[in-house]
Structure 1
């Protein structure tokens, strides 16, 4: 896989609380330079990123209910509405993990669906990726979470926030892909720092990679190709 091909799978990410405006400007410049699929940033920076990336083909992605997923649904919906007004076209929302573990499956599904309805009614239609936080779930819970995201109409399931331990693994990506089949995308996120990791996750079924190490991954790819 060439560095250009790899770039189209990457959400170039900056979600640390100390991220500055200058760092967002740099992130967006890199996203345009390398042809990443999207930038993934905190909601306060969506207007800036949208203005910097207008017409570039790089999507603006932001997070909803991040990083715990424990907000009230009405709060997640309000976040989604504002993010879309500000120019986001992809929303990575955190599933309500506590509700899932409590067996409140209808509430989990409705929580996802409420954000999906907002995103899919936007013009142009926006995508929703549901963050499962796989490191906190049993295998059965991962399967259930995928099924609920499917029922709610989400576009992707995503492994991790990167904030609560663990990260993307080949085993989890393969499991998510088996459950959702070709009906949804699978985003691997958390701890992806090398080209070898990235390609293994793609081979396991990921269709998007969330990483703050995108430029390093491409440098890795370019160096190996040159070698």
Structure 2
């Protein structure tokens, strides 16, 4: 069994404050705690990216901007703008929520284009890409289809939950994968 040091474990944690009422004092506290415990990243709403980048200047702690958070219900063009804006403000990581309406519509071409576009922007800028599925609203076949798309596009990480939905990650969700036989396009 592999053993980890406290610092190695801390480097696996995204310290998060995505509350809609989080003010500057909350961001200062978040960044102070991230430094104190040497967390890998602070996850924040994109509007706070520049502030957190400034507060964490000179550290190795990443600033992760949440895009189209928490609902994912914006157009691809809006997500592209928000992604580019957050990167310009200093984001080292991008967490974006897939368009759940298009998943429910089985419009997997749209979802693939969305994932590919956001992931490509991140790759070009040297920024980590994370796609959030929000599994609590999805059926098993939808999760598998998203996993198949992600397997093709290869974002850096897949997340199962925003923490704002009706349920969080489950062991069953994590075990799910895209079977080779699943067809994602009609």
When normalised by structure 1's length, the TM-score is: 0.74
What is the CA–CA distance in structure 1 between the aligned matches of 2:147 and 2:51, rounded to whole Å?
33
The reply to whether residue 107 of structure 1 matches residue 110 of structure 2 is yes
The structural deviation recorded for 1:119 is 1.1
CA offsets, 1:182-202, max 9 Å, x none?
xxxxxxxxxxxxxxxxxxxxx
The reply to whether residue 28 of structure 1 matches residue 31 of structure 2 is yes
What is the CA–CA distance in structure 2 between the aligned matches of 1:151 and 1:74, rounded to whole Å?
22
The structural deviation recorded for 1:150 is 2.6
Counterpart in 1 of 2:145? 144
> Quick check: 2:145–2:178 contact (8 Å CA) kept in 1?
no
The structural deviation recorded for 1:111 is 0.9
The structural deviation recorded for 1:2 is 4.2
Counterpart in 2 of 1:93? 96
The structural deviation recorded for 1:7 is 0.9
When normalised by structure 2's length, the TM-score is: 0.90
What SS is found at the alignment partner of 2:155?
Answer: coil
List runs of 5+ in structure 2 lacking aligned partners: 180-186
The structural deviation recorded for 1:53 is 1.1
Counterpart in 1 of 2:75? 72
CA offsets, 1:3-41, max 9 Å, x none?
323211100000010111101011001111111010000
The structural deviation recorded for 1:68 is 1.1
Counterpart in 2 of 1:63? 66
CA offsets, 1:26-69, max 9 Å, x none?
10011111110100001111001101112211100011111111
Counterpart in 2 of 1:12? 15
What is the CA–CA distance in structure 1 between the aligned matches of 2:8 and 2:156, rounded to whole Å?
22
What is the CA–CA distance in structure 2 between the aligned matches of 1:66 and 1:137, rounded to whole Å?
17
What is the CA–CA distance in structure 2 between the aligned matches of 1:27 and 1:150, rounded to whole Å?
33
Q: CA RMSD in A?
A: 1.5
> Quick check: 2:31–2:42 contact (8 Å CA) kept in 1?
yes
> Quick check: 1:134–1:160 contact (8 Å CA) kept in 2?
yes
What SS is found at the alignment partner of 1:144?
Answer: helix
Flag the 1:179–1:31 CA change in 2: closer, same or farther, 3 A: farther
What is the CA–CA distance in structure 1 between the aligned matches of 2:54 and 2:19, rounded to whole Å?
21
The structural deviation recorded for 1:96 is 1.0
Matching of residues 174-193 of structure 1 within 5 Å: 174-175=175-176, 178-179=177-178
What is the CA–CA distance in structure 1 between the aligned matches of 2:154 and 2:83, rounded to whole Å?
16
